[in-house]
């Protein structure tokens, strides 16, 4: 069995970045830029007043000044300053050349067309041209675009952007016992829950995901479903990955000519994970136990989908204090479902008593996966441990 680290590097090697496509900026939320955005102008495009008040020369601050014009946002003043003059100015207006200071109107006494500065301040109240960003500067945030990013790109004067095409994901759950949610169960049947969760995780990672109809535990049914998945950048199967007589994913993917990257990872939950390439599709075969499939999707599918959009993995282990004593670990790296809390201002991570990989109810209550390396000795309340936050 290979380590989680090795498995992740082999999964990432399966990723081909998707091609670029152009979309309206308004539709680009959560998309990933395929190339940097180059600012088409400097921001501000001119020296701009930051306050409503009067534009003047710093050298004239102590004098009586004559108001010789008015400048507003969108209505610049185009005259030339004369000695001991000032221009009434409003926030956002270009500061006329020749003036280097804007005094807030609250700090000025005005009589007719004459003003006197009553409270001189050091701050010039001018936003200098290009002080936010310069024309031709590049913006390449290396993350799914946030609302703030969209605002910045608009300010750079772009209304369309080139982004990575969303990876196409086909999710295939298999098992004779499975029926769709909402169906009355016959004896021995189980509600199929994993494909819904995995497809939602894929969408949250930027993919276009569809669930194929549930496959039966026979090779023909699985082969038919795989043919429906053609054109997907990633095929994710759920279940049938283990060693039982009905676990057919290994055999069927072999028949389809899969180049296998690995089978089985030294992790808990999720040992019987399979990965590889079938034609132009990457393939991840997740274990059927609901928690195992979701943990494997978090650890492998999400980074793979990010890589397909040109992004690095974003799994950064965090440190916290352990909330209870726990026994020594076995031979597999363990991802324990855990709750986060704050005690005396410090973050505390407390793993649940049960770590059964079928318990979706507990997983839904979890805020974190506490990570324990294989062979980790017993740990005690108050020890420093590592965890991955869950969203
Ligand atoms: N002799 C051994 N048995 C098992 C081993 C092993 O090493 N030797 N490994 C165990 C581990 S660990 C896991 S994980 C499971 C994974 O097995 P499969 O990937 O083959 O999963 P299935 O057998 O198909 O299903 C397991 C379990 O999960 C339920 N399931 C499956 N798909 C769904 C779905 N889409 N929605 C909801 N629930 C699903 C299924 O009904 C089973 O209860 O193997 C162990 N066995
Ligand atoms: O490794 Mo399995 O995924 O524990 O249930």
**Ligand 2: which residue has its CA nearest to atom 4?**
269
The CATH number for 66's domain is 2.170.190.11
Tens-digit pLDDT profile for residues 132-142: 999 999 999 99
Q: Which of 127, 152, 180 is the last residue of a domain?
A: 127
Are 176 and 156 found together in one domain? no
- Separation of 51 CA from ligand 2 center, angstroms? 62
Q: Which of 258, 279, 308 is the last residue of a domain?
A: 308
Taking a C-beta distance cutoff of 8 angstroms, is the pair 20, 163 a contact? yes
pLDDT of residue 246 exceeding 90, the answer is: no
| Complex prediction ipTM | 0.97
Question: Which ligand is the nearest neighbour of the Cα of 330?
Answer: 2
Q: How confident is the model at residue 184 (pLDDT cuts 50, 70, 90)?
A: very high
% the chain with pLDDT above 90: 97
Q: How confident is the model at residue 240 (pLDDT cuts 50, 70, 90)?
A: very high
pLDDT of residue 149 exceeding 90, the answer is: yes
Tens-digit pLDDT profile for residues 97-142: 999 999 999 999 999 999 999 999 999 999 999 999 999 999 999 9
**Ligand 1: which residue has its CA nearest to atom 12?**
271
**Ligand 1: which residue has its CA nearest to atom 1?**
243
Are 159 and 250 found together in one domain? no
Tens-digit pLDDT profile for residues 70-97: 999 999 999 999 999 999 999 999 999 9
Are 146 and 78 found together in one domain? no
Number of domains the chain contains = 4
Q: How confident is the model at residue 243 (pLDDT cuts 50, 70, 90)?
A: confident
Are 37 and 159 found together in one domain? yes
The residue-averaged pLDDT of 192-204 equals: 98
Tens-digit pLDDT profile for residues 199-210: 999 999 999 999
Ligand 1 in reach of 178 Cβ (< 6 A): yes
Phi, psi angles (nearest 5°) of residue 340: -100, 145
Does residue 251 lie within any of the structural domains? yes
Are 178 and 285 found together in one domain? yes
Tens-digit pLDDT profile for residues 343-367: 999 999 999 999 999 999 999 999 9
**Ligand 1: which residue has its CA nearest to atom 8?**
243
The CATH number for 383's domain is 2.40.340.10
Per the structure, the complete domain to which residue 369 belongs is given by 318-389
Q: Which of 282, 308, 334 is the last residue of a domain?
A: 308
State how far the Cα of 121 lies from the Cα of 43, in Å rounded to an integer: 25
**Considering only CA atoms, which of 210, 287, 198, 204 is closest in space to residue 241?**
287
State how far the Cα of 226 lies from the Cα of 279, in Å rounded to an integer: 11
The residue-averaged pLDDT of 274-285 equals: 97
Are 300 and 334 found together in one domain? no
pLDDT of residue 277 exceeding 90, the answer is: yes
**Considering only CA atoms, which of 358, 306, 316 is closest in space to residue 202?**
306
State pTM to two decimals: 0.94
Question: Pocket around ligand 2: residues whose beta carbon is below 6 Å from it?
Answer: 268-271, 287, 289, 292, 357
The CATH number for 295's domain is 3.40.980.10
Look at residue 245 in the predicted model and tell me its pLDDT.
83
DSSP 174: B
Question: Which ligand is the nearest neighbour of the Cα of 240?
Answer: 1
Look at residue 284 in the predicted model and tell me its pLDDT.
98
Pocket test for ligand 2, best of 7, 240, 292, 332 (most atoms within 8 A of CB): 292
Are 160 and 170 found together in one domain? no
- Separation of 311 CA from ligand 1 center, angstroms? 31
For the chain, the first-to-last Cα distance in angstroms comes to 29
- Separation of 255 CA from ligand 2 center, angstroms? 25
- Separation of 289 CA from ligand 2 center, angstroms? 7
Structure tokens at 385: 């441990």
Are 244 and 328 found together in one domain? no
Look at residue 244 in the predicted model and tell me its pLDDT.
81
Are 176 and 304 found together in one domain? yes
Look at residue 128 in the predicted model and tell me its pLDDT.
98
Look at residue 44 in the predicted model and tell me its pLDDT.
98
Residue 296 CA: which ligand 2 atom is closest? Answer: 3
Are 268 and 341 found together in one domain? no
% the chain with pLDDT above 70: 100
The CATH number for 160's domain is 3.90.105.10
Are 216 and 282 found together in one domain? yes
Are 215 and 330 found together in one domain? no
The number of residues making up the chain comes to 391
Across the chain, mean pLDDT equals 97
Pocket test for ligand 2, best of 241, 243, 286, 287 (most atoms within 8 A of CB): 287
Residue 271 CA: which ligand 2 atom is closest? Answer: 1
Look at residue 50 in the predicted model and tell me its pLDDT.
98
Does residue 313 lie within any of the structural domains? no
Does residue 222 lie within any of the structural domains? yes
Tens-digit pLDDT profile for residues 2-21: 999 999 999 999 999 999 99
Pocket test for ligand 1, best of 173, 180, 236, 242 (most atoms within 8 A of CB): 242
């Amino acid at each position: 069995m290979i380590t989680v680290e090795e498995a992740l590097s082999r999964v990432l090697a399966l990723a081909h970045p998707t091609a670029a496509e152009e979309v309206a900026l308004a539709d680009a939320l959560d998309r990933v830029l395929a190339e940097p955005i180059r600012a088409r102008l400097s921001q501000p495009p001119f020296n701009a007043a930051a306050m409503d008040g009067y534009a003047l020369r710093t050298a004239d601050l102590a004098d009586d000044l004559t108001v010789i014009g008015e400048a507003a946002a969108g209505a610049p003043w185009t005259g030339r300053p004369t000695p001991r003059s000032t221009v009434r100015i409003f926030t956002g207006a270009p500061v006329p050349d020749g003036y280097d200071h804007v005094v807030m109107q609250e700090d000025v006494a005005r009589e007719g067309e004459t003003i006197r500065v009553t409270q001189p301040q050091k701050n010039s109240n001018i936003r200098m041209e290009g002080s936010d960003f310069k024309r031709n500067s590049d913006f390449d945030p290396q993350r799914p675009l946030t609302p703030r990013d969209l605002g910045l790109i608009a300010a750079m004067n772009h209304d369309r952007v080139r982004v990575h095409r969303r990876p196409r994901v086909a999710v295939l759950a298999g098992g004779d016992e499975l029926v769709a949610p909402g169906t009355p169960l016959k004896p021995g049947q189980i509600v199929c829950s994993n494909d819904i969760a995995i497809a939602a995780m894929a969408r949250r990672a930027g993919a276009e995901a569809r669930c194929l109809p549930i496959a039966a535990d026979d090779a023909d049914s699985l082969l038919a479903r795989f043919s429906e998945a053609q054109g997907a950048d990633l095929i994710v199967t759920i279940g049938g990955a283990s060693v039982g007589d009905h676990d057919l994913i290994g055999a069927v993917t072999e028949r389809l000519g899969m180049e296998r990257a690995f089978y089985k990872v030294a992790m808990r939950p999720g040992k019987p994970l399979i990965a590889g390439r079938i034609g132009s599709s990457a393939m991840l075969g997740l274990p059927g136990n609901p928690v195992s499939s979701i943990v494997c999707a978090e650890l492998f599918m999400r980074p793979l989908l990010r890589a397909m959009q040109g992004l690095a993995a974003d799994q950064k282990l965090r440190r916290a204090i352990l909330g209870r004593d726990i026994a020594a670990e076995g031979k597999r790296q363990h991802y324990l479902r855990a709750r986060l809390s704050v005690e005396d201002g410090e973050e505390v991570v407390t793993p649940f008593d049960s770590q059964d990989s079928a318990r979706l109810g507990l997983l839904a209550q979890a805020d974190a996966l506490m990570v324990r390396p294989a062979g980790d000795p017993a740990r005690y309340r108050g020890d420093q441990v590592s965890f991955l936050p869950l969203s």
